[in-house]
Amino acid sequence: MPAPVDQLLRPFRALRSKLREIDRNSRRTKRDAFDRIQHVSFILGAIAAPFIVAALEDGFTRTRSLPLAAMAAFERGGEPGVRVARVEEEDLKRPIAGAFTLGQVLVIEERTLHGWPFPTLELVAPTTLEITLLPGVREPRRAEIAAAANALADADGLSRRTTDRRIHVGGWIFSIGAWWIFINLAVAIGLAPIRFGWRLFRRGRSVIRQSRIDRCHCPNCGYDARGSILTGRCPECGSDLYERPEY
């Protein structure tokens, strides 16, 4: 192997050698059935989480409406037609100097968020107009106000005629991670009392077996086996008399 390549691979070889040494000298951890169940839940949770997020995308929605702009509709004496002008929302109820106010217009954008716990899909609906006529203004004037407001919204780039579909990649990633954590927490919480009870049972059984051994009795059935110490077998059940308990 050329020298430059050998020098390049030397750190990786040293790392591999160190990892092997750690593996040889490490103490093996004995896993029980509960640890295996938790390990399986890690894998199954990672597989099931994307499907749960996809199912909740259609089953969990929330809608919010946002005002994009506020307009005041008015007409001036001697000038035909309805005019609209953008104003601040707090100025909608203020009269316009030299003009007769007809109503108030809000350009509304409705957004629907899909998914839980984080939104994974957002649908932005076409913009709508919320027109409020002032007292004394006839209902047929609503169409004129809507036409003028739509023209101004188009000029300002506020109008949307189609539904905009936006996929939130970050929402997908965080939702999958959250559901993976939820699944594993649920499994861990469900296994906790069973695991505790099983370990308490094994501990109590080990204490009983140890006390029987100390009294030269059979650890399995409790038979007085002092006469069979040399044989090492219980004459009653055939168990090993020198079996040590597992803590």
pLDDT tens sequence across 185-236: 999 999 999 999 988 988 888 888 888 777 777 888 877 777 776 677 777 7
**What gap in Å lies between CA 75 and CA 84, rounded to an integer?**
8
From 159, 162, 57, 68, select the one nearest 113 (Cα to Cα): 57
Q: What residues contact 177, with CB distance under 8 A and at least 6 apart? A: 49
Residue 129: name the closest of 164, 169, 160, 165 by CA. Answer: 160
In the chain, the percentage of residues whose pLDDT exceeds 90 is 34
Residue 125 DSSP one-character state: P
Query: Which helix or strand (DSSP H or E) is residue 21 part of?
Result: helix 3-25
The pLDDT > 70 percentage for the chain reads: 91
Cα separation, 207 vs 87, in Å, equals 83
Residue 239: C-alpha distances to residues 74, 179, 207, 209, 217 (Å): 102, 49, 17, 12, 11
The encoded tokens of residue 171 equal 């929402």
First to last CA, the chain: 53
Q: Is the pLDDT confidence value at 181 over 50?
A: yes
Higher pLDDT, 130 or 244: 130
How many Å apart are CA 84 and CA 65, to the nearest integer?
22
pLDDT confidence bin for 18, thresholds 50/70/90? confident
Rounded Cα distance, 152 and 82, in Å: 12
Q: How far apart are CA 164 and CA 34, in angstroms?
A: 48
Q: Are 106 and 115 in contact (CB under 8 A)?
A: no
> What tokens were used for 45?
């949770």
pLDDT at 242: 64
**Partners of 65 in beta bridges:** 110
The helix/strand/coil state of 142 is helix
| Residue type, position 8, single letter | L
The CB density around residue 165, as the number of other CB atoms within 10 Å, is: 9
Among 20-29, 101-110, 125-134, 156-165, the minimum mean pLDDT is found in 20-29
Contact 138, 184 (CB under 8 A): no
